[in-house]
């Protein structure tokens, strides 16, 4: 049993990320809290790291924000950076949010 002061109990995971792991008809994620925290940390870090890449692409290629997000989506799908399509979609939405760009799709 974890202690109330345990860092795992202190870290909040956004409902939008939790939803990635809740299948239709269920109310709880299909992975453990620890795994959810690990996956969230990875995806949040990835979105943060992609901000500079996205800004550089927009400037260098002189393309719109949606075009940059499409390119990032292709890279996520091809590179195997995230194991699920749901996580990749979340990373894209989070990236758009961080850059104050319109959400994809």
Average pLDDT over residues 11-23: 94
What values do phi and psi take at 85, rounded to 5?
A: -65, -35
Picking from 50, 46, 53, 54, the residue whose alpha carbon sits closest to that of residue 87 is 46
Residues in contact with 42: Cβ distance below 8 Å, sequence separation at least 6, in sequence order:
82
pTM for the whole structure: 0.85
Q: Which two tokens stand for residue 19?
A: 């939803």
What is residue 10's predicted lDDT score, i.e. its pLDDT? 54
- Residue 84: the pLDDT is 87
Q: Where are the beta strands (DSSP E) in 4-97?
A: none
């Amino acid at each position: 049993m974890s202690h109330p002061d345990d860092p795992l109990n202190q870290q909040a995971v956004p409902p939008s990320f939790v939803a990635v792991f809740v299948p239709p008809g269920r109310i709880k994620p299909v992975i453990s809290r620890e795994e959810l925290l690990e996956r969230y940390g990875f995806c949040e870090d990835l979105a943060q790291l992609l901000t500079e890449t996205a800004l550089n692409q927009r400037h260098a290629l002189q393309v719109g924000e949606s075009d940059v997000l499409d390119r990032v989506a292709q890279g996520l799908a091809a590179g195997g950076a995230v194991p699920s399509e749901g996580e990749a979609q979340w990373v894209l939405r989070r990236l758009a949010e961080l850059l104050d760009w319109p959400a994809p799709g």
